[in-house]
A and B are shown apart, each in its own frame.
Chain A
Amino acid sequence: MLDLLLSQAANGLVLGVLYVLIAVGLSIIFGLLGIVNFAHGAFFALGAFVALTLVERFGWWAAIGAPFIVGGVGMVVELSLIRRLYNREPLIGLILTFALALLIEALIRVIWGSAMRPFSPPTLFSGFLIWGPVLITRYRLFVLAATVAILLGLWAFFAWTPFGRILRAGGRDAEMVGLLGINLPAVFTWTFGLGCALAGAAGLLAAPLWAVDPSMASDAVMPAFVIVTIGGLGSYPGAIIAGLLVGIVTALTIQFAPQASSAAMYVLMAVVLLLRPRGLLGERWERFE
């Protein structure tokens, strides 16, 4: 039994990192822009479909372009729509991003059709490995490695680059950053693009594992919101810890009470919020107080 539990935990870890990638983008957008982006799942689905087209036309190597294209779409959306939401009622943002999610899903249906599309992992990553009690597929290992690499790159970007510092500072006190002569609207555009690109990257990585259809967003967006809430709104490390926790708790629940597997993350969220209402690593942010 212990062997099976170890195997389940390893699988849960991979599911968790995929959730982390979706949730981190959501967290970055909320942290800096203060927008709860209901369209995040739609950008995730868009990433999968753009990757599908790139792979079909140019081969697997071209799939790396998918997050950049989705990020670009996100920047256009920020310039044309999201920008109008700053300093307005949060409810307007919720309604607009919800409508945006429906619009993107409809556009995916128009461009790619409503049918589910086959999408297999590259042959390089087919097959699986068995290490003692742990069985894991090569593609899941690749997903794990790719996500860790993206998260490390993101951390380095935030910690060591001037632009990363501006993003962090803008998240805490946008007005002060603006007074220092920094073009904050441009920063907002890049931030929204970055969040969407992360959703697109998650869509690309999930496509060979999940059914690729226009409504796949719904499977991604709820766990992402739960993770952001558990980790603490706007907290980047919090989202990572929460994502891994959700993945492992879900996998272990499947072992003992499969019917409750999708409810497990909500129970976890309720417990965390009861003990720490700000989430695991949620901080006191002046602008949201």
Chain B
Amino acid sequence: MDHASSRLFVTRRQAVRGGAALAVAPALAMPFVGDAEAAAPLKIGMVLAKTGSLVDQSEYLAAGTVMALEEANNTVLGRPCQIVWLDEPTPQAAQQNMQKLIQEQRVIAVIGGALSSDALAMESVAGRLKMPFVITNAAAREITGRDCNRYTFRLQPDVPVQARVLSPYLMGYGRKWYFITANYAFGQDIRRTFQDLLKAAGGSVVGDDQVPLGTPDYSSFILKIREAKPDMILGGIVGGDLSTFLKQWNELGMKGKIPFAEIAIGDTDIWGVGPEAATGIFTSMWWYKNPANTPEEQNFAAAYLKRHGKPAADKAWMGWIGMRSLLGGIELAKSTAPAAIVRGLESWRTKVGDLEVGYRKFDHQLVLRTLVIETKPKITDKWDYFDVKAALPKTAAELPAVFGSEQEVGCHMAAI
């Protein structure tokens, strides 16, 4: 073999060396691949509205969620962690987006669910695909009731809980109530629950209007309310509809004449009404100026104000505490395995005042006090609209009764 031909043909020795190199290559490459996987960020999915009428609330929820991760230096279990945010335009699309996050993005958990119908749709995916899911806003009772599952956790107390908290407070204003509620699941739930509580307390319903979603003009409803002369208006209208109602309520000279109350509103709904027209008694999970806020919450409120140039709405806090619970659950799990994260979330606790707050074992509902807030008689600040009237129930011992027993809630979870 001349020199030229030796360049074209592989010698036996070279072949042996090459074969050995090929055999060893995967083994040599393995530690590198392993290191790359360890360095690759963990992903947490976030499904919140990017379009439609819920965007306003969702932006606050998302901002709070992101801030909680940043507080943890964008790490969990000592590894970098990032959020992947997809939209929830309809229940079906929310479900598809959740599946996409699980199957394509390989997220370790999902957080979000601004609207009850979207959250319920995503909850079924969480149960089927065994994915830890923390719902930060939706309030439908079925989420932690009939449709509950082991992988889903929920932050906001449902309609019956908030109704049990608020109704004794409202009875002080009188027992002739007028109901104006949106004609869909959330509004119907409010109507049914409050009417039962009112009748049980010996009160009477003097008017009961179920309003289509997206009603642009409430003046005709307001004229009916004016005619009925109730002691209290109990509302169940949401988002922009609530703002429109309160604007027209003020326009027709009714502000201050008959008290208006509603549960589970967002601060943004009332900020959007403006200081002249804003009025009402509401339930809320958090208020940025509540003197009873913990030092951690005060730091969060200050950091939010510094970063966004405006105060944190209740929804921002809900995103923040929801993400803190999820990160805390993952840390307790010491693993990214879904079942371990679920157990971690079940064990997660945080201190709020005198309360040890956490998700209940049997329905995964976060148990904490609800604030009763009322608009200030004269609003002089662009953001400072409310006075905190009470944090209910007063004692920790009353919480189980307010949140309902296992039988009342009706959640039957399967094992992991």
Contacts of A219 in B (CB 8 A): 214, 216
Also in contact, A258 and B210, with CB within 8 A (given A8-B220, A116-B56, A128-B252): yes
Indicate if A209 sits at the interface (CB-CB under 8 A): yes
Q: Which of B241, B244, B248, B276 has the most CB of A within 10 A?
A: B244
0/1 interface trace, chain A 181-224, chain B, CB 8 Å (1 if under): 00000000000000000000000001011111111101110010
Q: Which of A76-84, A118-126, A162-170, A227-235 contacts B (4 or more CB under 8 A)?
A: A118-126
Please tell me if the beta carbons of B209 and A258 are within 8 angstroms of each other in the complex. Answer: yes
Q: In the complex, A120→B379 CA distance in Å?
A: 14
Please tell me if the beta carbons of A255 and B224 are within 8 angstroms of each other in the complex. Answer: yes
Also in contact, A258 and B211, with CB within 8 A (given A109-B55, A209-B248): yes
Name the residue of chain B whose CB is nearest to the CB of A116: B272
Indicate if A137 sits at the interface (CB-CB under 8 A): yes
Indicate if B53 sits at the interface (CB-CB under 8 A): yes
Contacts of B67 in A (CB 8 A): none
Indicate if B217 sits at the interface (CB-CB under 8 A): yes
By the criterion of a CB under 8 Å from any partner CB, how many residues of chain A are at the interface?
Answer: 46
Q: In the complex, A211→B243 CA distance in Å?
A: 6
Name the residue of chain A whose CB is nearest to the CB of B310: A115
Which listed residue (B209, B214, B220, B269) contacts A11, Cβ 8 A?
A: B220
Contacts of B253 in A (CB 8 A): 127-128, 137
Please tell me if the beta carbons of B274 and A119 are within 8 angstroms of each other in the complex. Answer: yes
Name the residue of chain B whose CB is nearest to the CB of A258: B209
Tell me the smallest distance from the CB of B32 to a CB of chain A, in Å. Answer: 43
Name the residue of chain B whose CB is nearest to the CB of A206: B216
Also in contact, A259 and B210, with CB within 8 A (given A116-B240, A219-B216, A220-B216): yes
Which A residues between 82 and 141 are near B, CB-CB below 8 angstroms?
109, 114-121, 126-128, 135, 137, 139-140
Q: Which of B183, B227, B247 has the most CB of A within 10 A?
A: B247
Indicate if A242 sits at the interface (CB-CB under 8 A): no
Which listed residue (A4, A115, A118, A258) contacts B221, Cβ 8 A?
A: A258
Please tell me if the beta carbons of A4 and B227 are within 8 angstroms of each other in the complex. Answer: yes
Contacts of B362 in A (CB 8 A): none
Indicate if B273 sits at the interface (CB-CB under 8 A): yes
Tell me the smallest distance from the CB of A20 to a CB of chain B, in Å. Answer: 14
Please tell me if the beta carbons of A209 and B272 are within 8 angstroms of each other in the complex. Answer: no
Q: In the complex, A261→B210 CA distance in Å?
A: 10
Q: In the complex, A214→B59 CA distance in Å?
A: 14
Name the residue of chain A whose CB is nearest to the CB of B245: A211
Please tell me if the beta carbons of B219 and A15 are within 8 angstroms of each other in the complex. Answer: yes
Indicate if A241 sits at the interface (CB-CB under 8 A): no
Which listed residue (A128, A220, A254) contacts B224, Cβ 8 A?
A: A254
Contacts of A33 in B (CB 8 A): none
Name the residue of chain A whose CB is nearest to the CB of B246: A211
Please tell me if the beta carbons of B221 and A209 are within 8 angstroms of each other in the complex. Answer: no
CB contacts between A and B, total, < 8 Å: 124
Q: In the complex, A251→B224 CA distance in Å?
A: 11
Please tell me if the beta carbons of B272 and A213 are within 8 angstroms of each other in the complex. Answer: yes
Tell me the smallest distance from the CB of B90 to a CB of chain A, in Å. Answer: 14
Name the residue of chain B whose CB is nearest to the CB of A215: B53
Which A residues between 246 and 286 are near B, CB-CB below 8 angstroms?
250-251, 254-255, 258-259, 261-263
Please tell me if the beta carbons of A118 and B211 are within 8 angstroms of each other in the complex. Answer: no
Indicate if B212 sits at the interface (CB-CB under 8 A): yes
Please tell me if the beta carbons of A251 and B220 are within 8 angstroms of each other in the complex. Answer: yes
Please tell me if the beta carbons of A115 and B272 are within 8 angstroms of each other in the complex. Answer: yes
0/1 interface trace, chain B 44-58, chain A, CB 8 Å (1 if under): 000000001101100
Q: In the complex, A287→B170 CA distance in Å?
A: 63
Which listed residue (A12, A211, A259) contacts B244, Cβ 8 A?
A: A211
Q: In the complex, A258→B228 CA distance in Å?
A: 15
Contacts of A12 in B (CB 8 A): 220
Please tell me if the beta carbons of B251 and A215 are within 8 angstroms of each other in the complex. Answer: no
Q: In the complex, A7→B275 CA distance in Å?
A: 28
Indicate if B38 sits at the interface (CB-CB under 8 A): no
Q: In the complex, A212→B274 CA distance in Å?
A: 11
Also in contact, A137 and B251, with CB within 8 A (given A118-B273, A254-B224, A259-B210): yes
Contacts of B215 in A (CB 8 A): 261-262
Contacts of A7 in B (CB 8 A): 223
Please tell me if the beta carbons of A120 and B223 are within 8 angstroms of each other in the complex. Answer: no
Please tell me if the beta carbons of B212 and A4 are within 8 angstroms of each other in the complex. Answer: no
Tell me the smallest distance from the CB of A2 to a CB of chain B, in Å. Answer: 12
Contacts of B216 in A (CB 8 A): 15, 206, 210, 219-220, 223
Q: In the complex, A4→B222 CA distance in Å?
A: 11
Tell me the smallest distance from the CB of B272 to a CB of chain A, in Å. Answer: 3
Q: In the complex, A114→B268 CA distance in Å?
A: 10
Q: In the complex, A10→B125 CA distance in Å?
A: 50
Please tell me if the beta carbons of A114 and B59 are within 8 angstroms of each other in the complex. Answer: yes
Please tell me if the beta carbons of A210 and B244 are within 8 angstroms of each other in the complex. Answer: yes
Please tell me if the beta carbons of B247 and A262 are within 8 angstroms of each other in the complex. Answer: no
Contacts of B251 in A (CB 8 A): 121, 126, 128, 137, 139-140, 208-209
Also in contact, A11 and B240, with CB within 8 A (given A118-B273, A121-B251, A219-B216): no
Name the residue of chain A whose CB is nearest to the CB of B209: A258
Q: In the complex, A213→B272 CA distance in Å?
A: 9
Which listed residue (B212, B247, B274) contacts A210, Cβ 8 A?
A: B247
Seed contacts A215-B53, A258-B211, A262-B212; 19 additional CB < 8 Å A-B pairs: A11-B217, A11-B220, A114-B59, A115-B56, A115-B271, A116-B268, A116-B269, A118-B272, A120-B277, A121-B251, A209-B251, A210-B240, A211-B243, A211-B244, A211-B273, A219-B216, A251-B219, A255-B224, A259-B211
The 3 closest A-B pairs by CB, nearest first: A116-B272, A118-B274, A262-B212
A-B CB contact pairs (8 Å), 25 listed = A4-B227, A15-B219, A114-B59, A115-B268, A116-B269, A118-B274, A120-B277, A121-B251, A126-B251, A127-B253, A128-B252, A139-B251, A210-B244, A211-B247, A211-B272, A213-B272, A219-B214, A250-B220, A251-B220, A254-B209, A254-B221, A254-B224, A258-B211, A259-B210, A259-B212
